Chain A
Amino acid sequence: AQTVTQSQPEMSVQEAETVTLSCTYDTSENNYYLFWYKQPPSRQMILVIRQEAYKQQNATENRFSVNFQKAAKSFSLKISDSQLGDTAMYFCAFMKDTGRRALTFGSGTRLQVQP
C-alpha cells in the first residue's frame, strides 16, 4: 500500500513571495504518478501539476514547479510570486501506473497568502 505524508498542516506566505510545500510518499512501485491538487473554499479540486516518476525532469506549470526526488521519495511544490488566489488547501497525491488507479492523498496543507 502507498502512503502520502504532508507534514505542514498550515503555511502562510506574503503576496509575491515564494513558498514551498512538502510531500513525501512511500511505495514499492517503480512506475507511478504524483500530483498536486488545489482545493479552494469553493470545494472544487483543481489539478495544479503532475509528474511522471519515469521522468527525471521536474514538472513546471507557470508559477508552479516541483522538486521530485525519486530516491528520497520526496515531491515538493514551489509556488513563485504567490497571489491571493493561491489561498487554498493543497493536496499531494500518488497514483500507481498499473492496476487500480485510485489516488492516494496526503492530509493537505492549508496555504494562506497574505496581502
Chain B
Amino acid sequence: GAGVSQSPSNKVTEKGKDVELRCDPISGHTALYWYRQSLGQGLEFLIYFQGNSAPDKSGLPSDRFSAERTGGSVSTLTIQRTQQEDSAVYLCASSLVAEGRETQYFGPGTRLLVL
C-alpha cells in the first residue's frame, strides 16, 4: 500500500515568512509524529498526535511552531515568521498503535531552507 507522503519535497522561503508543511500518513494509522532533522541538533521530536487525544506538543521549539491533524488523517505543520535556524529537514511518521506492534514509518521529508 501507499506509504507516508509529504509535501512539498523542498521549500525555500525568506526569513519572516510563514510556511506550511503537509503530511499524509498511511491509511488507518492512528498515530502521527513530526520530527526535525538538522545538522546541529540531529533528529528531534516535535509533536505527536494519537487518535482523538490532545496532541503532545512538548517538542515544539517555540510558539512559532504549530500543527494540526484534520479528521484523524492529514497533518499540517506551520512555522510562522521563519528564522534561519528553522532550516532543516522535517520528517513525518505514522504508526498503528497496537500492543507490542507499534513501528513508525517515515515519509521522505520536506527540506526547508530559510534565506
User: Interface residues, chain A, CB within 8 Å of chain B?
Assistant: 33, 35, 37, 42-47, 50, 52, 91, 95, 100-108
Contacts and interface: CB of A to CB of B under 8 A. Distances in A.
B31 interface: yes
Interface in B69-113: 89, 91, 93, 95, 97, 100, 102-109, 111
Interface residues of B, number: 25
Contacts of A52: 100
Nearest to A102: B45
Contacts of A35: 103
A95 B102 contact: yes
Contacts of A101: 31, 48, 95, 97, 102
Contacts, number: 51
Interface of B: 31, 33, 35, 42-43, 45, 48, 56, 58-59, 89, 91, 93, 95, 97, 100, 102-109, 111
Contact of B42 (A45, A50, A105): A105
Given A43-B108, A45-B91, A100-B58, A105 B103 contact: no
* Top-10 shortest CB links A-B: A45-B106, A102-B45, A105-B43, A44-B108, A43-B109, A107-B42, A100-B56, A102-B48, A43-B108, A50-B103
Nearest to B97: A101
Given A101-B31, A101-B48, 15 more contacts: A33-B102, A35-B103, A42-B108, A43-B111, A45-B91, A52-B100, A100-B48, A102-B33, A102-B45, A103-B33, A103-B35, A103-B43, A103-B45, A103-B93, A107-B42
A92 to B, nearest CB: 11
B3 to A, nearest CB: 9
A50 to B, nearest CB: 6
A104 B33 CA distance: 12
A108 B42 CA distance: 8
A102 B106 contact: no
